[in-house]
Structure 1
Amino acid sequence: MTNFQSEATVGDLGEQGILDAILPLLDSSKASLGPGDDAGALRVRGEEVLVSVDTLVENQDFRLIWPSGQEHKAYDIGWKSIAQNVSDINAMGGKATGAVISLSLPEGTELDWVKDLAQGVTDAIKYLGAQELTVLGGDLGKASEISVTTTVLGETEHGKVLRSGAQPGDLIAIAGHVGDAGAGLDVLEHHGDSAKWNRAVRRLVAGQCRPTPPLGSGPRAAESGAHALMDVSDGLIRDGSRLAKASGVSIDFDLQVLAKFAERLKPAANLTGHDPMKWVLHGGEDFGLLAVFGKDSKIPEEFTVIGKVTARSGRRSLVTVNGKPAAAKDGFDHFS
């Protein structure tokens, strides 16, 4: 696996020993019944419960050691397992309230590695602002590679907001980062020696390993009457195409506005020689929030308007940039 300093491994301890070590690190205080029985229990206030699930798999979604030589810490894997799921709840206009986590591990995995992952889960919940989220339980299993599957439940105060409500004449806006995670991934995959990265490059790498979705922006957008919401997990063009298809419209992004997001990616561009606009348009996993508002809406201040919604007709592209067709196939795809 990796060079950790712990003598104990998950194979030495067995399932109960692992649970005894990591459950104290996970906050279940807000559950009506936390880990320990056959299922957890969570009181809900609304009439609907939002549900999202995502999996992080070794060598598919992360590498323990990247080609750059950078170690991908268990803490960051735990953090990201929470971040990508609470982002989905945020993208429905909701707040996350409960989580269950399934963890599959090779038996030689050091216990300290697993405890570090659990601490990343706990700290993500705290520092991302998911104050109402509590860990209800989960599952442990043996596998040939590390796999973390997290399911998050949530509620919404103003009613869920779908992808399908965008209308011609609306404005499309984004909250959070765009392109940071894509730039960071490019650096991790292709451009070591990590010891020579400057602070700006490390910030972009952190955007890939420890993303910070704009929690709270989803409920604020819903309260402001957003017509449609969606998080950006697979790239602005690919996810914008999904929103446009669901709504039966087209979207035109403003290249001049997007160039401002590309500006902050220049440290990685200087290192890699790549066009930073590639990361803005096609880089995923920043988990920024796309929101569609009526043109007369009061848009929350953390959102930047990056384009407009137009009528879909004939063979018009789902997404254009300054009126020119953009290919969604360049975004992230697990099976490409």
Structure 2
Amino acid sequence: MTRARPPLPPAGADDSVAAVGEFGVIARVVARSGSAALAEVGPGDDAAVVRTPDGRVVACTDVLVEGRHFRRNWSSAEDVGHKAAAANLADIAAMGAVPTALLVGLACPADTPATWLEGVATGMAAECAPFGAAVVGGDTSASAPDSAAVVLSVTALGDLGGRAPVTRGGARPGDVVAVAGRLGWSACGLAVLRRGFTAPAAAVAAHRRPTPPYAAGPAAADAGATAMCDTSDGLLADVGHLATDSGVLVDLDRGALERGFVQATGPLPQVAAALGGDPMAWVLTGGEDHALVATFPPAAQLPAGWTTIGVVREIDDEGPGVRVDGVPAAQVAADLGEGTGHVHFG
């Protein structure tokens, strides 16, 4: 195992955002941001203009705070850019839409290296490029005088392409529950980094740059998915939101999850053995993989890349919720020594 690198040195006087200036920073970032295929007016004006072929706009926002969502001594600037974009693009995919553009708000200390921000822009551009999307505008500000943290607020726009949006509220008893993407890899990588190591590389890379299955969202919508969301806060937590919004009980199959996400090729068993943990804790409660979880009618043909992990049932006296092999999610998580997922103000 390799020890994590130390914190970055401060910016040189000629590279800080204070020296480069607001519009110098914007110019350097825009030069690395690419162009959006559907943008009629891009960065540089009072607002962007983005075409909406479907006639409807899917929109979402995520805020990433240094020290909470990323650390500069753990992740490169490009890693942070990839991660910030992915968190939003996955939400667009979870509605059954295709991303079209990003808007980015930035607050940072005056001594932040401008070259670091260029790296963030490069990472965002690379994450957006496969869709023909790009950053089309945003805003910059100095952070509070007593704050050393960088804050990124990213808004993503998307197009449904004629599909009905797939919300969290459409699951019905009898539907099957399925997942596309990885579960537990980001949390596994975070556990490695917290212990000062940077290997196994696959786990650490999964935390630094999640790889959401973007194409699986529109494919699920086309296949008749009744409800869908991404797993930003953990499988139990996010399926819990889906169950509550749909007014149903979701019963997950632990065996299916173990076969699909622990016993399959990947770093989870190796790292869990080294750290003395249970890989199912990461699968069930770890966030930031941005896998997609959806429900489908029982007769539906699941698209490629989707794995069945449970079933939707009628609610009982305890109301909507999530169980794993019939055991309430909170009890399952407690037995693993975890909460059911990430709590933003916990």
Question: Per the shorter chain, which TM-score range?
Answer: over 0.9
CA deviation profile, 1:13-52 (whole Å, cap 9, x unmatched): 1101111211110112521001111101111111321110
2:22 pairs with 1:10: no
SS of equivalent residue, structure 1 residue 313: coil
Q: Residue in 1 aligned with 2:256?
A: 257
Q: In the alignment, is the contact (CA less than 8 A) between 1:40 and 1:137 conserved in 2?
A: yes
C-alpha separation in 2, matches of 1:207 and 1:93? 23
C-alpha separation in 2, matches of 1:245 and 1:111? 44
SS of equivalent residue, structure 1 residue 25: coil
C-alpha separation in 2, matches of 1:317 and 1:101? 36
SS of equivalent residue, structure 1 residue 32: strand
Alignment counterpart, residue 44 of structure 1, candidates 49, 52, 63: 52
C-alpha separation in 2, matches of 1:77 and 1:321? 34
C-alpha separation in 2, matches of 1:203 and 1:230? 25
TM-score, with length taken from structure 1: 0.92
SS of equivalent residue, structure 1 residue 214: coil
1:125 positional shift: 1.3
2:267 pairs with 1:270: no
1:317 positional shift: 6.3
SS of equivalent residue, structure 1 residue 274: coil
Q: Residue in 1 aligned with 2:336?
A: none
Q: Percent identity?
A: 38
2:116 pairs with 1:113: yes
C-alpha separation in 2, matches of 1:8 and 1:98? 28
CA deviation profile, 1:285-334 (whole Å, cap 9, x unmatched): 10000010011001102100000000002125611111111117430011
C-alpha separation in 2, matches of 1:12 and 1:22? 15
Alignment counterpart, residue 26 of structure 1, candidates 14, 27, 33: 33
C-alpha separation in 2, matches of 1:8 and 1:134? 25
Q: In the alignment, is the contact (CA less than 8 A) between 2:36 and 2:101 conserved in 1?
A: no
SS of equivalent residue, structure 1 residue 159: coil
1:142 positional shift: 0.6
Q: Residue in 2 aligned with 1:192?
A: 196
C-alpha separation in 2, matches of 1:268 and 1:79? 24
Cα RMSD (Å) of the superposition? 1.5
C-alpha separation in 1, matches of 2:103 and 2:36? 14
C-alpha separation in 2, matches of 1:82 and 1:295? 34
1:3 positional shift: 2.3
Aligned positions, number: 322
Unpaired runs of at least 5, structure 1: 66-70
Q: Residue in 1 aligned with 2:294?
A: 291
- CA 1:141–1:166 in 2, change beyond 3 Å: closer, same or farther? same
Alignment counterpart, residue 175 of structure 2, candidates 143, 165, 170: 170
CA deviation profile, 1:46-75 (whole Å, cap 9, x unmatched): 13211100011011111222xxxxx32111
C-alpha separation in 2, matches of 1:147 and 1:316? 38
TM-score, with length taken from structure 2: 0.90
C-alpha separation in 2, matches of 1:98 and 1:139? 15
Residue identity matched to 1:289: L
Residue identity matched to 1:209: R
SS of equivalent residue, structure 1 residue 298: coil
Q: Residue in 2 aligned with 1:58?
A: 66
CA deviation profile, 1:225-284 (whole Å, cap 9, x unmatched): 111111111111111111011111001111111112123311221232110000000000
Unpaired runs of at least 5, structure 2: 1-6, 334-338
Q: Residue in 2 aligned with 1:235?
A: 234
Runs of 4 or more consecutive aligned structure 1 residues displaced over 3 Å after TM superposition: 4-7
Q: In the alignment, is the contact (CA less than 8 A) between 2:35 and 2:132 conserved in 1?
A: no
2:302 pairs with 1:320: no
Q: In the alignment, is the contact (CA less than 8 A) between 1:317 and 1:325 conserved in 2?
A: no
- CA 1:289–1:29 in 2, change beyond 3 Å: closer, same or farther? closer
Q: Residue in 2 aligned with 1:219?
A: 218
